[in-house]
């Protein structure tokens, strides 16, 4: 199950609704919406849930983070090769809640590439998006950190971050996802109008009372 644009990645983070049985049920709902709409919906899962969600969840699964450690004596490290063996098709890199320095970002992208994982490099602003896209991840996902988890979306509060990011990476061909505070179909539509190739979001879906209904609405804004 490969990733394709327009793409919506739901980051399950460490929300209770995104782990174990609840997270699995959410993946199944995502799969049903993807099937009904034709949209590409992917889940970024915890390392502990990755194998089950990837094999039985019905949607492409990304790791939320991988480490650059090689195989060997590195207790607790999440190896890219182990993520692939568990069924991951990709990984987030440098999420705002799991930031890396630029040298580590470069090494992580290289390790992911070698292992066969698609990469979604998260960035906080236009400058970082341009610098990150030059490293040729498969996607960049720009998210103003102050809007993450809030109720006002990047499309409304900082639309220029999306349009300027799209313009800044235009020469690279790297698709730009955006996120932070995305909750409604209108938020998604606006982001797509501004040139985004998709959305990276979390709370609007994971914490929703009826995630299936929310997703059904959100994916309508994708095209
Ligand atoms: O990884 C997605 C993210 O950081 C945005 O979170 O809750 O604002 O959709 P949220």
Our answer on whether the CB atom of 12 is closer than 6 Å to any ligand 1 atom is: no
CB-ligand 1 contact for 155 (6 Å cutoff): no
pTM of the model: 0.98
pLDDT cut 90: percent of the chain above it: 99
Residue 18, domain member (yes or no): yes
Backbone angles phi, psi at 156, to 5 degrees: -90, -50
Distance 111 CA to ligand 1 centre (A): 25
Q: For residue 1, is pLDDT > 90?
A: no
SS3 category, 177: strand
CATH of the domain at 14: 3.20.20.70
Distance 93 CA to ligand 1 centre (A): 14
- Residue 125 falls inside a structural domain: yes
Confidence grade of residue 223 (pLDDT, cut at 50, 70, 90): confident
Whether residue 6 has a cis bond before it, omega within 30° of 0: yes
The residue to which tokens 């049985």 are assigned: 21
The answer to whether residue 206 is domain-embedded is yes
Residues 97/50, Cβ–Cβ less than 8 Å: no
Kindly state the average pLDDT of the residues 143-159.
96
Residue 57 lies in a domain: yes
Residues with active-site annotation: 95, 143
CB of 201 sitting under 6 A from ligand 1: yes
Q: How far is the CA of 199 from the centre of ligand 1 (A)?
A: 10
Cβ(211) to ligand 1 under 6 A? no
Mean pLDDT of 28-49: 97
Residue 143 falls within a domain, yes or no?
A: yes
| Residue 1 belongs to a domain | no
Q: What is the pLDDT of residues 52-105, one digit of tens each?
A: 999 999 999 999 999 999 999 999 999 999 999 999 999 999 999 999 999 999
In a domain, 2, yes or no: no
Q: Whose CA is nearest to atom 2 of ligand 1?
A: 201
Mutating to test ligand 1, I would choose from 93, 146, 148 the residue with most ligand atoms within 8 A of its C-beta, which is 148
pLDDT bracket for residue 195 (50, 70, 90):
very high
Counted domains in the chain:
1
Q: Is residue 54 part of a domain?
A: yes
Q: Which domain holds residue 34?
A: 7-219
Alpha helices in 8-140 (DSSP H): 20-37, 50-56, 80-86, 102-115, 126-133
């Amino acid at each position: 199950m490969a990733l394709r644009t327009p793409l919506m990645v739901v980051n399950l983070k460490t929300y209770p609704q995104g782990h174990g049985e609840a997270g699995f049920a959410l993946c199944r709902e995502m799969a049903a919406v993807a099937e009904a709409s034709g949209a590409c919906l992917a889940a970024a899962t915890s390392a502990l849930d990755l194998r089950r969600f990837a094999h039985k969840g019905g949607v492409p699964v990304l790791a939320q983070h991988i480490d650059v450690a090689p195989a060997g004596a590195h207790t607790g490290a999440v190896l890219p090769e182990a993520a692939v063996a568990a069924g991951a098709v990709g990984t987030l890199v440098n999420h705002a809640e799991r930031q890396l320095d630029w040298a580590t970002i470069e090494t992580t992208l290289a390790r992911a590439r070698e292992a066969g994982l698609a990469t979604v490099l998260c960035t906080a602003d236009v400058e970082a998006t341009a610098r990150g896209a030059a490293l040729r991840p498969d996607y960049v996902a720009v998210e103003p950190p102050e809007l993450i988890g809030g109720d006002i979306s990047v499309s409304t509060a900082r639309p220029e971050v999306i349009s300027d990011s799209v313009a800044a990476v235009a020469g690279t061909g790297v698709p730009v996802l955006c996120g932070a505070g995305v909750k409604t179909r209108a938020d998604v539509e606006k982001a797509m109008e501004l040139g985004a190739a998709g959305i990276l979001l979390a709370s609007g879906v994971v914490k929703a009372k009826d995630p299936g209904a929310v997703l059904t609405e959100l994916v309508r804004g994708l095209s």
